[in-house]
């Protein structure tokens, strides 16, 4: 894998007057701050001394909870006999829905998500009760002893069945532009088909966990592995009938969240808090991996019905799609997820007339939720499959069809939801990647290889990414921060974001260090804590550093302004020289008529304290210019777009369906990257995670609705062995035209869409079996079985396989 190195960067990083907000910016060359600093916790991660919630020393008297789960997909609970449970060693008590003093709900949008099932269960794995005992082992053993009597009810387990029955968690989303039906009728070529893509388990390394400690006067303190401390605070307050000021939630770091801890940490926080309140003792709830996978929601799997009309050059004239997502038993975050799917169906392409619909289908399975990309990947991948099919139908290279459909820069630049694409650089990035990856020469080499290799077949594909950055609910796009400068010159920054391994704390600390001109080692980021920064949004939608970086910068700038005003006279200047005081390299300096005068930052701070200058500040940021009309599905939902492109080459064994990824080249638009090492890590990690979604990770529910793939033994995430032998990742270092923090761009989610290139390369390899004359019906995940189904179909000259159909119509 690539070592993130300074050598990959265009210029040695420097602190510029401009990025430090100084007035003589216009006269100075434009070099922005960018440094590959180590992750603030790297030394703790590698030495095993980073503290996760389960590593915290337990308070005396701590109890442990375990969850009793439904064994039925849909049933009335007639009775539960806890006699044997109560008799088990160590058991302190059992909690059911009736023991909840406040609201029995942990739904983030609608209130259809019971903490503990009340009378009816709606999926296999649904929490029905909690057993509280003196050890985790005791609680778990006892939970299995409950005898539950059910009356079974009919269960809907299939997305299409739910859609047909009108079982939807919200009304369908409908976005129609122009006259797609007429355009389809008059298009020279039309492809119609059905397709499907699987769901995905977040598989955070650290599972869900909450530790609740009762405090005086009915208050509750919690440590939750969560991306959304404020939501945990609210849910716990509602379920215990407390005010928000009585609940404190803290999280130093998560061992991964990936969207799975945006809303779904709530049920664990609530049960732990409920037990802590009931028994007046600290309670920890840490489900094991299997229980975690049985209880929590995943990425939504989708089924699609589509039609696309195009001309002889491959240009799309009209597109129509119905995307049906498995919401699961409750609403959770499905509405914004399918909204993001609608807003990413276009990916990087101008669609002309379009009819885009999305359905959140209610099934008796886990309630699906956020997962890196948040519906965006499911929207965009359908379009990539369509483009790939158009190219094959016309006998063109898919890259040529992609290029002809890219958004323009001055025309053909309006999205179906009416946001104008103003920052489009996809054409330029693809040109660069085509050159650096040697795309055309390798395409020719692969054709030669395949001509001489009857069983092993190679495939190649280049796919683009355009991803909208901002929460698609405008008011979530705000953040707060608190910066403390202590009298020794050390700095502590608290902000509204949570650290889940993505390097947010490192970036925010870098922004603060840069703003105050002190070494990064002098700045520490604190744990996220609802009592320090209030009313935070989830760390999600890839906005963590955009929002919290800006808020922290705002706080640091206020402190800097006060210090500058205080220091100007000390440095031999007048009061009006404050604006010319420089903060860099741990010093505060002023270039006056008598030359430069400089003092160590810590000395200035110590003196400022004696002069009673406020050395801490709060900061705030709200992303400008966003609006969204949820009724018409139009507006300006995104502050900017992040772009990327990837090329992947695969080798497929057409007898077994097994394959290897030979080489991948990625180019990612990180704007002016604050930390290229961390960003490259995000790009490579997102790529591999997305590749798992599209190729090896398969969720299988049996006929009773029981998830049968609930552990790593049956659910295959990618490992180091699945990484490409050649993995070349580069950042496209061009400052964001929008005024983001240090002109950077988000890197959290968009890389998950880069392995579209792997799926399309697999389809290309399968296609070669039929001389590229038959459309391979390849579903995702493209497991070896799916690949073999597609190979068989191509050999038989048919374009159908389980879950996939495709029909071509030519204008008569
Ligand atoms: N990287 C790591 N290591 N662990 C994670 O859990 N979550 C992803 C992404 N990268 C995640 C990650 C998701 S789903 C999001 S939305 C972003 O990080 C959130 O962090 P950011 O906004 O600070 O990039
Ligand atoms: N991403 C993640 N979470 C969200 C979003 C989003 O776009 N919108 C609302 N919650
Ligand atoms: Mo990320 S799916 O927005 O937590």
Query: H/E/C letters for each residue in 211-270?
Result: EEEECHHHCEEEEECCCCHHHHHHHHHHHHCCCHHHEEEEECCCCCCCCCCCCCCHHHHH
Q: Is the pLDDT of residue 7 over 70?
A: no
Q: What is the mean pLDDT of residues 712-720?
A: 96
Q: Is the pLDDT of residue 327 over 50?
A: yes
Cα distances from 750 to residues 347, 374, 375, 377, 467, in angstroms, run 11, 10, 11, 8, 6
Which pLDDT band, with edges at 50, 70 and 90, does 405 fall under?
very high
Q: Is the pLDDT of residue 18 over 50?
A: no
Q: Is the pLDDT of residue 431 over 90?
A: yes
| Catalytic hit among 553, 749, 785, 809 | 749
Who contacts 172 (Cβ-Cβ below 8 Å, separation ≥6)? 357, 358, 359
Which pLDDT band, with edges at 50, 70 and 90, does 31 fall under?
low
Q: What is the mean pLDDT of the chain?
A: 95
DSSP H helical ranges for 120-211: 136-143, 159-164, 180-186
User: What are the tokens at 374?
Assistant: 């948040």
End-to-end CA distance of the chain: 52
Give me the pLDDT at residue 705, please: 98
- Structural domains of the chain ordered from first start: 53-154+202-295 (3.90.1170.50), 302-472+630-810 (3.30.365.10), 478-622 (3.30.365.10)
Short-list 541, 193, 201, 202, CA closest to 383: 193
| CA 36 / ligand 1 centre spacing (Å) | 18
Q: Is the pLDDT of residue 21 over 80?
A: no
Q: Which residue's alpha carbon is at the smallest distance from atom 7 of ligand 2?
A: 471
Give me the pLDDT at residue 2, please: 41
Instruction: Kindly tell me the burial class for residue 91, based on how many C-beta atoms sit within 10 Å of its own C-beta (0-12, 13-18, 19 or more).
Output: buried
Task: List, in sequence order, every residue forming a beta bridge with 780; answer none if it has no partner.
Answer: 197
Give me the pLDDT at residue 43, please: 98
Q: What is the mean pLDDT of residues 432-456?
A: 98
Q: Which residue's alpha carbon is at the smallest distance from atom 1 of ligand 2?
A: 541
- For residue range 272-314, list pLDDT tens digits in order: 999 999 999 999 999 999 999 999 999 999 999 999 999 999 9
Q: Is the pLDDT of residue 695 over 50?
A: yes
Give me the pLDDT at residue 4, please: 39
- The rounded distance, in Å, linking the Cα atoms of 368 and 332 is 7
DSSP line for 429-460: HHHHHHHHHTHHHHHHHHHHHHHT-SSEEEEE
Give me the pLDDT at residue 812, please: 75
- How many Cβ atoms sit within 10 Å of the Cβ of residue 612? 7
Kindly state if the Cβ of 613 falls inside 6 Å of ligand 2: no
Give me the pLDDT at residue 811, please: 86
Q: Which ligand neighbours the alpha carbon of 231 most closely?
A: 2
Mutate to test the pocket of ligand 3, among 344, 376, 746, 749 (most ligand atoms within 8 A of CB): 749
Which pLDDT band, with edges at 50, 70 and 90, does 595 fall under?
confident
Q: What is the mean pLDDT of residues 756-778?
A: 98
Q: For the packed helices 376-394 and 756-768, what is the interaxial angle rounded to 10 degrees?
A: 30
Q: Is the pLDDT of residue 23 over 50?
A: no
749 is catalytic: yes
Kindly state if the Cβ of 228 falls inside 6 Å of ligand 2: no
Q: What is the mean pLDDT of residues 395-410?
A: 97
- The rounded distance, in Å, linking the Cα atoms of 781 and 498 is 31
Short-list 174, 288, 230, 281, CA closest to 632: 174
Q: Which ligand neighbours the alpha carbon of 477 most closely?
A: 2
Kindly state if the Cβ of 372 falls inside 6 Å of ligand 3: yes
Q: Which residue's alpha carbon is at the smallest distance from atom 16 of ligand 1?
A: 540
Kindly state if the Cβ of 262 falls inside 6 Å of ligand 3: yes
- The rounded distance, in Å, linking the Cα atoms of 633 and 549 is 29
- For residue range 190-249, list pLDDT tens digits in order: 999 999 999 999 999 999 999 999 999 999 999 999 999 999 999 999 999 999 999 999
Kindly state if the Cβ of 533 falls inside 6 Å of ligand 3: no
Q: Is the pLDDT of residue 13 over 80?
A: no
Q: Is the pLDDT of residue 12 over 80?
A: no
Q: SS3 of 195, please?
A: strand
15-19, 115-119, 187-191, 361-365: which range is least confident on average?
A: 15-19
- For residue range 32-74, list pLDDT tens digits in order: 999 999 999 999 999 999 999 999 999 999 999 999 999 999 9
- Whether the CB-CB separation of 45 and 502 falls below 8 Å is answered with no
Kindly state if the Cβ of 549 falls inside 6 Å of ligand 1: no
- Of all residues in the chain, what percent carry a pLDDT higher than 90? 95
Q: What is the mean pLDDT of residues 451-469?
A: 98
- For residue range 512-524, list pLDDT tens digits in order: 999 999 999 999 9
- For residue range 555-588, list pLDDT tens digits in order: 999 999 999 999 999 999 999 999 999 999 999 9
Kindly state if the Cβ of 602 falls inside 6 Å of ligand 3: no
- The rounded distance, in Å, linking the Cα atoms of 479 and 176 is 34
């Amino acid at each position: 894998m690539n070592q993130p190195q300074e050598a990959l960067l265009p210029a040695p990083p420097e602190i510029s007057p401009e990025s430090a907000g100084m007035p003589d910016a216009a006269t100075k060359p434009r070099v922005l701050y960018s440094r590959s600093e180590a992750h603030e916790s790297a030394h703790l991660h590698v030495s095993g001394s980073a503290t996760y919630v389960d590593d915290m020393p337990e308070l005396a008297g701590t109890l442990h909870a375990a969850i009793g789960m439904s064994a039925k997909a849909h049933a009335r609970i007639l009775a539960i006999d806890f006699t044997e449970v109560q008799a088990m060693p160590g058991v302190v008590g059992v909690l059911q829905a009736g023991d909840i003093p406040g609201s029995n709900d942990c739904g983030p949008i609608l209130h259809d998500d019971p903490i503990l099932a009340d009378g009816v269960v709606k999926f296999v794995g649904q929490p029905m009760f909690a057993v509280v005992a003196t050890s985790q082992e005791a609680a778990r053993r006892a939970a299995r002893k409950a005898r539950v009597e059910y009356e079974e009810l009919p269960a809907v387990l299939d997305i299409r069945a739910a859609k047909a029955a009108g079982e939807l968690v919200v009304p369908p989303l409908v976005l129609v532009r122009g006259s797609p039906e007429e355009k389809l009728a008059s298009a020279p070529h039309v492809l119609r088909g059905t397709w499907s893509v699987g769901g995905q388990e977040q598989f955070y390394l650290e599972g869900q966990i909450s530790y609740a400690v009762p405090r005086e006067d009915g208050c509750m303190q919690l440590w939750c592995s969560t991306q959304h401390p404020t939501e945990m605070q609210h849910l716990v307050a509602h379920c215990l009938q407390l005010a928000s000021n009585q609940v404190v939630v803290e999280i130093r770091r998560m061992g991964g969240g990936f969207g799975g801890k945006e809303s779904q940490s709530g049920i664990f926080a609530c049960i732990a808090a409920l037990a802590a309140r009931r028994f007046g003792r600290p309670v920890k709830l840490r489900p094991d991996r299997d229980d975690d996978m049985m209880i929590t929601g995943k990425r939504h799997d989708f089924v699609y019905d589509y039609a696309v009309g195009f001309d002889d050059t491959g240009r799309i004239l009209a597109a129509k799609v119905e995307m049906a997502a498995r919401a699961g038993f409750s609403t959770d975050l499905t509405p914004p997820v399918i909204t993001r799917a609608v807003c990413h169906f276009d990916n990087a392409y101008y669609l002309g007339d379009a009819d885009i619909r999305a359905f959140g289908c209610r099934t008796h399975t886990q309630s699906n939720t956020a997962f890196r990309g948040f519906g965006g990947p499911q929207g965009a991948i359908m379009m990539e499959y369509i483009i790939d099919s158009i190219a094959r139908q016309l006998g063109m290279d898919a890259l040529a069809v992609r290029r002809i459909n890219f958004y323009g820069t001055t025309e053909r630049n309006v999205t179906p939801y009416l946001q104008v694409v103003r920052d489009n650089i996809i054409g330029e990035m693809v040109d660069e990647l085509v050159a650096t990856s040697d795309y055309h020469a390798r395409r020719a080499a692969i054709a030669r290889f395949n001509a001489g290799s009857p069983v092993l077949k190679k495939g190649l594909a280049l796919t683009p990414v355009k991803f909208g950055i901002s929460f698609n609910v405008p008011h979530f796009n705000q953040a707060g921060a608190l910066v403390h400068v202590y009298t020794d010159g050390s700095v502590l920054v608290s902000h509204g974001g949570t650290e889940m391994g993505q390097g947010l704390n490192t970036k925010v600390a870098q922004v603060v260090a840069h703003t105050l001109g002190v070494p990064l080692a002098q700045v520490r980021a604190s744990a996220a804590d609802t009592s320090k920064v209030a009313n935070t949004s989830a760390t999600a939608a890839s906005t963590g550093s955009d929002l919290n970086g800006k808020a922290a910068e705002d706080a640091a700038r206020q402190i800097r302004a006060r210090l500058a005003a205080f220091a100007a006279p000390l440095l031999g200047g007048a009061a009006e020289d404050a604006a010319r005081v420089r903060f860099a390299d741990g010093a505060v300096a002023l270039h006056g008529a008598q030359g430069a005068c400089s003092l160590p930052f810590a000395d200035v701070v110590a003196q400022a304290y004696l002069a009673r200058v406020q050395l801490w500040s709060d900061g705030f940021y709200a992303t400008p210019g966003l609006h969204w009309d949820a009724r018409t599905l139009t507006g300006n939902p995104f502050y900017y777009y992040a772009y990327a492109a990837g090329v992947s080459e695969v080798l497929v064994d057409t007898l077994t369906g097994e394959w290897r990824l030979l080489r991948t080249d990625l180019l990612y638009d990180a704007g002016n990257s604050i930390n290229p090492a961390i960003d490259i890590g995000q790009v490579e990690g997102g790529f591999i995670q997305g590749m798992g979604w599209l190729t090896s990770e398969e969720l299988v529910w049996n006929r009773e609705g029981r998830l049968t793939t609930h552990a790593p033994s049956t659910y295959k995430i990618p490992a180091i062995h699945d990484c490409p032998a050649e993995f070349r990742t580069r950042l496209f270092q061009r400052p964001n035209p929008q005024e983001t923090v240090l002109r950077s761009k988000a890197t959290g989610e968009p890389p998950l869409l880069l392995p579209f290139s792997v799926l399309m390369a697999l389809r290309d390899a399968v296609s070669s079996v039929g001389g590229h004359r038959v459309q391979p019906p390849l579903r995702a995940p493209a497991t070896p079985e799916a690949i073999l189904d597609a190979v068989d179909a191509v050999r038989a000259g048919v374009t159908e396989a389980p879950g996939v159909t495709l029909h071509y119509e030519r204008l008569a």
